[in-house]
A and B are shown apart, each in its own frame.
Chain A
């Protein structure tokens, strides 16, 4: 099969909105008969408290529902279909066993408000995951409460603030490199900090000279990503953390790219004080079309008193309990104790791999990225020459000469049967094409992707129009986003 044939035409069934379907009297649901006395609702509460019909809510049969969502599902690209090279997103295979164990009734129906002796299994899973994450990251203590990466960032920065407040001054600003994820500055702002940008140098890493000039006693912390969003390891990280620590500031690490480091180096060993870990990236909990994720936060001892409450404690008799008595805690960041279903999946993945397996994950993730780099660097301009770890960033500079831009390349990839890479990010690379293949891809899959990218480059030379008007094979073409935003239609309405 030639690689251009990877994507072929296939039927795609049209499907209306749920609200345009159905018919009065259809049912997909039956309740067991009522076994207590039937009453008049009006006798139990003032009729003014009750609602009328729900306007526009459809009546459907079970078959209607199954067909509707099955048809919708066929319009999605997904990791079980093929390579999903979104840089910084770590779209790796989600093992099926994870789904099975998270659905065990003893987990799915556990309630966090039952007495500790009745939730020992859940507490043990959470505590074991904490211990594993602490070892992998080289940190001292973990909270599993945050629901996603950005939520973890907020949690971490609030702990930074509590730490400084306990020493008399919350300080004023958070330093953030210009290559950082947008969530970093947004999270710092909610914690009440001013954000200052740190420039990158020509190697794509933090400009330590520029950093030296802006670090002072009003800096609460720096938020770094390592490897950074260019896939480059901050080789001066030890010097950077030392510089910040000398001024009494802390170092936060965005752990989005931990997939490059497992078993190779540990944030805790290069001076990081606090980091969040995206279980939905490195630890294979599924992305679910945009969540749920989970964003545990790992800290060094100095920040441990400030962890959100409750914390899980293991007792000498081998049992576990929640400890709410945490006077220095930043408080709660979420009701209950985090996205437990994701914790089960992540622990399952860690136990499936063990220490050697996780190291192998990072090795192959980095190998795969470098393979793509070596195959594409003649056709696409590398954003930076520095060595790549788990992802590689190109720019559209060469193609842009033919007026073919990064979005065109991305859309054209769909015609070849691939999800596009992350594009237009990081912001410091004009026309960025950020490719993270992960360890889940075989050499054949990588080769097919490389061939598609090379074919698009050739098209950009010979037939740029076909690239600029892509995609041609998808259910819908490019959506007019500007029009959609000008007069937003955010819900269905009758008529």
Chain B
């Protein structure tokens, strides 16, 4: 096998030095009745050129047309070439978790930079070294709020990504956590009256997403203020991290009462390809006072014994390898390389580039909305300001709408994501996403498709 250096001759010599006759003898600890005495039934081994062909063939069966106008938590943004060039360095991608700080300073400093970027963008004081993704990140944020408040009632916006809510349900159900959903108002934002009526002193936290699943921008600071009046925490979830480049961050406000306590989210938009849903990278940012309740790894800045600056995993007494069943989370391996991708992305685009990308997203989305309103029979739902997603409703009932293409490359007559599975009350509605990679021509063609 080409990945195994030791030849048969090497192996024979090693066996002789160990003092056994065959490798078979080394497996004597496995009782004979449990041994597999046949070959595994697997596809036959392929050469490298056959592997390339095998995977190329399957990759070509997936549609990757950006004119699908589909987002819903996984976004198509331009990915600068620099990112792949750097993360393809073995020094980054084949290294282990940086437990041995002296020979892992590269990874450690990069994660420290990730933590800094996330804190800056969210307006929070501290951020962790990453979580698996946005959905598990939100579940971790809710568990964290339960630890901080010792309360169990959570008010969660229905306009939070439906799959994130599903993950929260799975995590929460055995821990005494009760989730109550808060609906959306006709303008697409959180129904604040409903929130007010459900908030009470038993509420642990209010969870809102901005931009929310419909793409509309929430008044997160108003929500935080309402939550804090009842001693509840305010958790803001961010699925579309690019929006942090232009929207006022939930963690930032003149008044402390209007700042979120936890900002959690998904940073896939920062230079990470959609990759059919993963790997992406979750982040969690909070106030310094809650740092010992945070889940996941943290990199701290310190000094070695001769006073040189260095970085090291810190506050690990929160973690499973020390605290075991009393840990703040069971997470161990996280998404370090994806956090590095996000860090490189932010270094490349810089503050001005990030703002420009945001502007292109907003303007192109506004253009698409305007065109659909003017040229088609589709309704654009929700009047609140939006970032790069919006909901359109087909005047025809479900089942009579247009169909998706039946094969890759055929072209989309039905852009975006149908919402019937998640929001049946919206009828024949679809969620569309327009980013900086979509040209005016693509948008026009999509609108024409809807019009005909």
Contact A488 B315 (CB under 8 A): yes
Give the residues in chain A near B310, CB-CB below 8 Å: 475-476, 479
Which one of A210-218, A245-253, A398-406, A437-445 is at the B interface? A437-445
Check if B320 is an interface residue, CB within 8 A of chain A: yes
Which one of A102-110, A297-305, A457-465 is at the B interface? A102-110
Encode contact with A along B25-41: 1 for CB under 8 Å, 0 otherwise: 01111110111100111
A338 and B278 alpha carbons, distance in the complex (Å): 6
Encode contact with A along B337-351: 1 for CB under 8 Å, 0 otherwise: 110100110111111
Most-contacted residue by chain B among A60, A235, A344, A484 (CB, 10 A): A484
Contact B321 A182 (CB under 8 A): yes
Contact B385 A46 (CB under 8 A): yes
Q: How far is the CB of B6 from chain A (nearest CB, A)?
A: 6
Contact A443 B14 (CB under 8 A): yes
Contact B40 A358 (CB under 8 A): yes
Contact A491 B116 (CB under 8 A): yes
Most-contacted residue by chain A among B63, B86, B353, B443 (CB, 10 A): B63
Give the residues in chain A near B149, CB-CB below 8 Å: none
Give the residues in chain A near B170, CB-CB below 8 Å: 158, 308, 330-333
Residue of chain A at shortest CB distance from B278:
A339
A27 and B346 alpha carbons, distance in the complex (Å): 12
Interchain CB contact (< 8 A) of B28 among A105, A121, A237, A387: A387
Q: How far is the CB of A63 from chain B (nearest CB, A)?
A: 10
Check if A340 is an interface residue, CB within 8 A of chain B: yes
Contact B274 A190 (CB under 8 A): no
Known contacts A44-B366, A49-B385, A114-B68: does B45 contact A443 (CB below 8 Å)?
no
Check if B303 is an interface residue, CB within 8 A of chain A: yes
Contact A371 B17 (CB under 8 A): yes
Give the residues in chain B near A44, CB-CB below 8 Å: 362, 366, 385
Contact B102 A474 (CB under 8 A): yes
Residue of chain B at shortest CB distance from A238:
B34
A266 and B40 alpha carbons, distance in the complex (Å): 10
Check if A430 is an interface residue, CB within 8 A of chain B: no
Interchain CB contact (< 8 A) of B275 among A119, A237, A341: A341
Contact A35 B353 (CB under 8 A): no
Check if A147 is an interface residue, CB within 8 A of chain B: yes
Contact A488 B291 (CB under 8 A): yes
Residues of A375-397 whose CB lies within 8 A of B: 375, 386-387, 389
Contact A479 B248 (CB under 8 A): no
Known contacts A66-B86, A270-B34, A290-B129: does B4 contact A107 (CB below 8 Å)?
no
Contact B334 A291 (CB under 8 A): yes
Residue of chain A at shortest CB distance from B85:
A66
Check if A171 is an interface residue, CB within 8 A of chain B: no
Give the residues in chain A near B167, CB-CB below 8 Å: 331-335
A60 and B348 alpha carbons, distance in the complex (Å): 7
Interchain CB contact (< 8 A) of A265 among B30, B44, B321: B30
14 contacts across the A-B interface (CB closer than 8 A): A31-B353, A34-B360, A101-B56, A103-B84, A106-B58, A114-B68, A148-B132, A191-B174, A192-B174, A289-B96, A292-B278, A331-B173, A335-B133, A476-B310
Per CB-CB distance, the 4 closest pairs between chain A and chain B, nearest first, are A336-B277, A106-B59, A354-B45, A192-B174
Given contacts A151-B330, A238-B34, A490-B126, 9 further A-B contacts (CB under 8 A): A31-B353, A80-B90, A182-B321, A336-B276, A340-B278, A471-B102, A479-B303, A488-B300, A491-B127
